[in-house]
Amino acid sequence: MKKNIPVNACEVEAKSGSGYPEPFNTLVGTASWRQLGDHFDLTQFGVNLEILMPGDQSALRHWHTLSDEFIYVLSGEAVLRTDSGEAVVREGMCVGFKAGEPDGHHFVNRSEAEVRLLVLGARVAGDTAYYPDDDLAWFYLEDGKRAVHKGGEPYD
């Protein structure tokens, strides 16, 4: 398929599950995403359409050492949890997180309706994602990513 042909974002294959090792994988819920950037073979930044059903969360609270993140709320209402506390975000609102600033963040859907987020993030080899509430870190390497305990031991 030619990658520069416009598509309906909802026609890009949906994926679900977090990829986190247990016991963290089940904490995220049934959230799904469509890797829009990957569909077009983008290499410098990722673009995802994330769909959070009631009770889902976007990720574990985390921050990145080298990758900026930008999130735009397409529809619904979610709670943004950061080191500063909680804030309700609604359709049309957006937030950004600068690389290297240790402000753990994620979104939780506490509403009764679906939430849709457009998530953009840099793709930087050597980036590390830290999870302040959990014994987890991700190392982003040239050949993929690796989950490790905060002490550096790999998850099996």
> Where residue 93 falls among pLDDT bands split at 50, 70, 90?
very high
> Where residue 2 falls among pLDDT bands split at 50, 70, 90?
low
Using CB atoms within 10 Å of the CB of residue 153, give its burial: 0 to 12 exposed, 13 to 18 middle, 19+ buried: exposed
Ramachandran angles phi, psi of 36, nearest 5°:
-65, -40
Q: pLDDT tens digits, residue range 17-69?
A: 788 888 888 888 888 999 999 999 999 999 999 999 999 999 999 999 999 99
Sequence ranges of the domains in the chain: 9-128
pLDDT for position 4: 84
CB of 117 closer than 8 Å to CB of 74: yes
- 2 vs 89, residue with greater confidence: 89
Among 2.40.50.140, 2.60.120.10, 3.30.465.10, 3.40.50.150, name the CATH number for the domain at 9-128: 2.60.120.10
Ramachandran angles phi, psi of 26, nearest 5°:
-75, -15
What percent of the chain clears pLDDT 90, i.e. is strictly above it? 74
- Tell the residue number behind the tokens 């900026």, with chain if given: 68
141 forms beta bridges with: 144
Whole-number mean pLDDT of the chain? 92
What gap in Å lies between CA 81 and CA 2, rounded to an integer?
A: 39
Take residue 134 and report the two structure tokens written for it: 């959990």
pLDDT for position 35: 95
DSSP for the chain reads --TTS---GGGSPEEES--PPTTTGGGS-S-EEEEHHHHTT--SEEEEEEEE-TT-BSSSSBEESS--EEEEEEESEEEEEETTEEEEEETT-EEEE-TT----BEEE--SSS-EEEEEEEE--TT-EEE-TTSS-EEEEETTEEEEE-TTSPBP-
